[in-house]
Amino acid sequence: MAARLLLETGHRVVVHGRTQARADAALAAAAGADAAVIGDLSTLREMRAVAEQANRLGGFDAVIHNAATGYRESHRVETEDRLPALFATNTLAPYVLTALIGRPKRLVYLSSGMHRSARLDLHDLIWTRRSWRGAEAYAETKLHDVLIAFAVARRWPDVLCNALEPGWVATRMGGPGAPDDLDATHRTQVWLAVSDDSAARVSGRYFYHHRLRQPNQIAEREEAQEALVEACARLSGVALPG
């Protein structure tokens, strides 16, 4: 939906798919997109491949980090990197892609209202000590996304870098009874990516439906931001420039 709106308003778009089939489906759904980058963002190998593909396409004005997996996993699913797939996709992938893709003018990270209930467990980021709880693990990754957004905003003052929650909407993850407006979920993403409105030309902020919203207070702590960045660098072997 974000890709379609960007295309409708005259922007050039590159989409992403986990596999060739998913990339083809994304291109079909967003007719007119320039290209698709392909890679399963649960593995470090394919995170790097996606960044390499993106860089070969040239510089980007904006990157929207909205690839994620949900909270319905009943047990800890481990990747080839011996990381939880949920953490790898939702936390480590946006970190690695941010670090490796040529610096754009704007960055947008998708969080969730569930991040407000999360805590930052730096001693067990990858759930090797705790009993697996999917919803809690998901909420933690969405807190991580805000921490990463705010850390990058501080490090890269020349980039407008923000996070948002799209709302609880009737997707396959949200379920048919979700109360929020599906049509509103993508509009704030696009607004932050391309708008010249003064309200959108800010950095280090958290939004919900075009309005500023208070995030989890943990996300505003610089020491927490830096601690997560350091952990992501250690787990991925990729340093965040700046």
Which of the following is catalytic: 71, 95, 109, 142?
142
- Residue 138 annotated in active site: yes
- Within 10 A of 233 (CB to CB), how many other CB atoms are there? 15
DSSP string, 78-118: B-TTSSBHHHIIIIIHHHHHHHHSPP-SEEEEE--GGGGG-
| Residue 6: both structure tokens together | 């960007």
Q: Which residues contact 209 (CB under 8 A, 6 or more apart)?
A: 167, 184, 187, 188
Q: Determine the 3-state secondary structure of 52 from DSSP.
A: helix
Cα Rg for the chain, rounded, in angstroms? 17
- Residue 105 annotated in active site: no
Enclosing H/E stretch for 175 = none
CA dist., res. 33 & res. 54, Å (int): 14
Q: Which amino acid is at 29?
A: A
Which of the following is catalytic: 71, 109, 138, 206?
138
Query: Which active-site residues does the annotation give?
Result: 138, 142
